[in-house]
Homo-oligomer: A and B are copies of this chain.
């Protein structure tokens, strides 16, 4: 049997149960944005890791080396943000073909350092090795969160409002432009820059992490059609999503007018948005939304509600009528 037949999550399911007996007290492992381990009396440590492979996650011709370094760290900081945590350190493993230009790698490291400085996250170690042909980058980031305060995927409650921290689909639309050599204009070039240099929602995540009314949280890396299901499965709940409430940027709407692309497909299953997806208790929603919008430029948007019915399933609604949405999120190993 090939991996492509069982997919990424099928593979993880095959071994994760066999390892869980080794977990100690206060340790939570595979299945959330970060693992959780005890740190000291006050804090737990959170850890995440992400692997980027040339020609799978990026094309050398479509991203500057600076952005590549920036993004490699950003996607990990986004996982720390998703737990409501503060990043503390990073570890970088890189495999490089021997004929890689030193100046190219200097730029990769400059991009990485620029984001490290923004959030004061030191680079404390790593591994550097030769690769046969592709550039391989693995980043591991540690962070901390007050004990018992990490926002988990498993904490959604019936009646919660489902919210996102910014517009969806920009990254996927940017990737689509890159892959199809669509020249960006002033309005649509933002889509490409969000794809190549996403900004992790560290400050938003920390703020949301402090709100008691925020129940479940994760970051959107595979598209909400796939990611929201992780929250639903782990919380044992269902969801209703109102498509007309999905926030879309002006840039994405403009692309749609110019190129007749399927905006909704990008917004729901495009992936790499790195926005936060979270659920808020209904009685706290209005206050949290108001306070959030005072703190942050990009408004908090409610896109639906958590339901008791149909656990693990999303009911898509468009103007109060059910909508059949087939395409799931990105699944690794599919050919």
- Residues of A near any B CB (own CB < 8 A): 1-6, 8, 11-12, 14-15, 18-20, 22-24, 27-30, 34-35, 37, 39-41, 45, 47-51, 53-57, 88-89, 91, 93-103, 105-106, 109, 113, 116-117, 120-132, 134, 136, 138, 140, 142, 332-335
Contact = CB atoms under 8 A, between A and B. Distances in A.
20 contacts: A4-B98, A8-B128, A8-B129, A11-B102, A11-B105, A27-B124, A30-B125, A30-B126, A40-B40, A47-B89, A47-B124, A49-B91, A51-B95, A53-B136, A55-B132, A91-B140, A95-B136, A98-B333, A136-B136, A142-B142
A48 B15 CA distance: 23
Contacts of A54: 132
A37 B120 contact: no
A22 B55 contact: no
Contact of A56 (B8, B45, B130): B130
A94 B98 CA distance: 22
Contact of A93 (B34, B98, B102, B138): B138
Tallying the copies of this chain within the complex gives 2
A230 to B, nearest CB: 14
A125 B35 contact: yes
Contacts of A332: 128-130
B53 A131 contact: yes
Contacts of A40: 39-41
A21 B28 CA distance: 32
A299 B40 CA distance: 38
Contact of A12 (B22, B97, B128): B128
A17 to B, nearest CB: 11
Contact of A3 (B2, B50, B99): B99
